[in-house]
Structure formats: C-alpha cells, structure tokens
Structure 1
C-alpha cells in the first residue's frame, strides 16, 4: 500500500526492492508496478523514511496469534467479550480459522465470526461448535440481483443460514445498507419474510443495519485500484430510521449501527 501524498520521492525503496516493484518514471516520480507479485520481504517498508509504504498481511502461527489474543485477557474478563474473526472472509481459510477458534475455546475465550455465509456447509458446521455467535450478512434476497452486486448467487448463503438456525447456533443478522441497492420496502419485506420463521428462536439475536461508509476509499487508492462506486450510496438518518421502523413493525429486534 503506497501513500503517494506523503512520499518524499527519496527512492530508497527503488534500491531496496529485490523484485523491481518500485521504480522511477520518466518524470522522476516514484511508481509501483502492480503486475509484479510482491514476496512480502518488507525491505521497501523498512527503508521508507516517511512510512509511505506498508505491506499488508502477515503469516502467523496459531500460537503466535494466541499470545496476541491473551494480551486482552483483562478486557475479556471485565466485559464478557472475546475474539471475533473478521474479514476479508475468515471461512476462506477454514483450517486456520478452525484452529484459532478451537484454541480460544480451550482457553475459555468467547468467540464470534463475521461472515458473508458463502462457504461449504460442512466446513462451516465444523467451525460452528467453536463459535458463540455468527454475525451473518444478508445483502439481498433476489439471487440474480445478489449475483450482480457481489459476483455470486445467494442460494448457498441462505441454505447455510437456515442450517445454522435449525441446529441452534447463535446468529445475529447484519444488513449492509446502500441507497437504491437494498433499501426499498419490497427488498426489506423479502428479508423479513425469510427470517420470520426463525424470529422467536432463542438462537436468533436480531438484526443490525450497517450503513454504507467510505472508510475503504483511501485504501483503494493506496493499492492503485479504481474505486468502483462513483456515486454516494449513503443513506440519511431519516432513511435508516424508516427502514428500522419497517422491521420493528414485525417485532424484530433491530438497531442501526451508526459510525
């Protein structure tokens, strides 16, 4: 990730990179070759005097991660909180996720995962015995529209969700909300209709509405990727309150998670 705005153009990274990812263009400016795979040696990051370069992602063993987890033991004890495996999508690394979840439970630490739900059911259920709460995304009920928005249909997602409810695993629904994407009364009604058979189950823990935010826009720029959302799909407070009201009409526990 390259923050051009704070780069001093010292070119130390050009000399440090063994793969030639950093280079000087014809105008004498620092550029990053995105067509060359970085091997994560971090030499460019280490020599950058302005901290304009950051290599994302680290390889860690479970024992290394658990040392980090246990740094917050006092917080877990006083708050009742624990460890949440977040995203990307933790179920895309199922063996690692399962190992971390098992280690947390062995040490008496509460666990949760944030998931889009697009996972092999057998692998998801294998993890489920070590998960205290699923924070499960529902983006859109229409399979065709879901595919247009995310690149995948939602049949597998909804099948996994039904199975989690059926087997008694704790689930909280999270709905990322975007204007003119999934904010109409019809779209909300479809989600309510799907969830109604599970509403009174003790393992159903309500719905969180997650308003669209722009926290990732700067990261796209640092990665040299064009941000695909050109217009602002943010919902107003009035929009969110109205959607919250629609859901409350059916006696669902629901809240807006405002940033």
Structure 2
C-alpha cells in the first residue's frame, strides 16, 4: 500500500465528530478558500515552515542548510528564491539537525496504513462509546486509495470512523469511501457557484451533486452539514436561506444536522510560518450578526446545532 502524507495527528479531540477522537490531517486540498485556517494542508507536497516565537536567531540553519538558500534577514528565516517562497527543501533529518528548537521544520510526514492503525489501536481505550477516528485536512478525498484503506482497516479493528471533507471528488471516490464512514461532515459554503469559485478557487456543482446523492443513497450514515459564516461571502440572510432550502429537501432524515460555524482568525500565525499573507485581511464577524444568521437558519431548517 502506498504511503499517505499527513500533517498532524491530534489526540483527544472533542471538536471533530462525536466523542473523544483521534484526528488525522491529510496534506493536499483542491480548494484555496481565502479564510482557510490550515494553509499548511493545502499543498500536496512536503513544505518548510518556520515558527517565529521559538526561533533563537542563532543562524545554525543558515550554516548547515546553506545549499538550500536558507537565510536570516530582518529577524526572519527565509528560504527558496529572493521572495523567500519556493525552491527545494532539505530532508526532515537535515532540518532536525540544523535547528535546535525545531522552529524550522518540515510540514508533512509520510505514513503507511499499518503505522497509523498501530497509533489508533493504542488510543482505542480512550474513544468511549461514540469516539474514534476522524480524517480531516486538507482533503482526505485527494488521497483516496490511502484514505479508503485506512478507514477500512479502522473498521476491521472495531474503530468508529468520521470524515471532514469538501465532498469535491469523482462520485466513485466519494461512494467508495463513505461505505467505511459512520459520521460524515462536509461544508456547504454558498449555493451561488460563481461566488463559490471566486472565494475558493473552484465551482460547487460537483460537491452539491455528491452531497445530494449521499443523502439519498446512504440513510444509515450520520451527516452533519457545516456552513462557515464568512464576512463578505455568505454573512447575509439570503445566502443562509438558500443553503437551508437545499437541505430542507432532505429534512425527513433523522440523522441529518446543519451547523453554522463562526468565522475566526486562528490560522493567521500559520500563514506567517509559511511566509504567506492572510488573504482575508483584518475582517471580523460579530457575535451579534452570527447569532442573527443562526436564527435565520433555524427558521428554514429544523435540525440546527
């Protein structure tokens, strides 16, 4: 079985599905949502990252990794071309030896399914009656063979499974993976496809089609539809009502929920670590406005969480 590229393994999560869960973050995503809180998961290859707060400015990386054009300028570590972006990167072992505080680090690590299953089996006693494994990212569907093999093996070991996904993939990929899923979480950000493409880089027809098919064909799977409420994108009653009307078609399902998520800026330090600018600038969403839109959603669709 081929290896998968993973950015992080988070234990004891209470936010990524029911119960206590281990979350495995996949690297690579077809979307470029301007508000993305995990920019380190967007690209499909290993990357170099830098954490300013733990950097000693000692210059060890500059001396040991000079052939990769590592430099220390204006109190910041840069690499690649003159803009500090791009270029080849050193191996994880080289970086670990060069940086005593791990401020300079490689984002992403290759795993085999068996290695992750061993980790999950160790955590299994903590999963309680509802917890288990959650695949997140990035986009797990972008590494479909690896994701499906991992989910299947988890089920074989009695571990409940969940996924956080855009649902953006060929139908045969989505259909194959959902057969090994107990709890399915996916976004509907906005119904207008042109607006969706403007803010995420891709239209939404494929993902809406996939979600509709899933809701019709897999009644045994618990679905939670998530809508991140984003300033200037969908922070208005019309956008929320449009999503609610789409979901109302499936409202007779007992295991379908809709969750509105409040926009936040927690990912900004990650952009700094990658030497990228945060695309959303300094916009904010007030709690008052979010609460109003959540009330609007509740009028349209009964199962709001």
In the superposition, the TM-score normalised over structure 1's length comes to 0.90
Q: Which residue of 2 aligns with 1:8?
A: 56
Q: 2:223 matched to 1:171?
A: yes
Q: Which residue of 1 aligns with 2:107?
A: 56
Contact 1:172/1:208 (CA < 8 Å) preserved in 2? Answer: yes
Would you identify which runs of 4 or more consecutive aligned residues in structure 1 move more than 6 Å? none
Q: Distance in 2 between matches of 1:237 and 1:151?
A: 28
The 1:189/1:249 distance shift into structure 2, 3 A limit, reads same
The number of residue pairs the alignment matches comes to 251
Q: Which residue of 1 aligns with 2:92?
A: 41
In the superposition, the TM-score normalised over structure 2's length comes to 0.77
Determine which structure has more spread, i.e. the larger CA radius of gyration: 1
Q: Which residue of 2 aligns with 1:180?
A: 232
Larger relative contact order (CA 8 Å, sep ≥ 6)? 2
Q: Distance in 2 between matches of 1:119 and 1:62?
A: 21
SS of 2:233's partner is coil
Q: In the TM superposition, what whole-angstrom CA distance separates every residue of 1:160-186 from its partner, at most 9, and x where no partner exists? A: 000101102431101111123102111
Please list, as runs of the form range in 1=range in 2, the aligned pairs for 1:104-183 lying within 5 A after superposition: 104-168=154-218, 169-183=221-235
SS of 2:249's partner is helix
Contact 1:173/1:207 (CA < 8 Å) preserved in 2? Answer: yes
| RMSD value, Cα | 1.9
CA deviation after TM superposition for structure 1 residue 28, in Å: 9.3
Please list, as runs of the form range in 1=range in 2, the aligned pairs for 1:174-213 lying within 5 A after superposition: 174-204=226-256, 206-213=257-264
CA deviation after TM superposition for structure 1 residue 252, in Å: 1.8
Contact 1:13/1:44 (CA < 8 Å) preserved in 2? Answer: yes
Q: Which has the higher strand share?
A: 2
Unaligned 5+ runs, structure 2: 1-48
- Which of 227, 230, 234 is matched with 2:281 structurally? 230
SS of 2:109's partner is coil
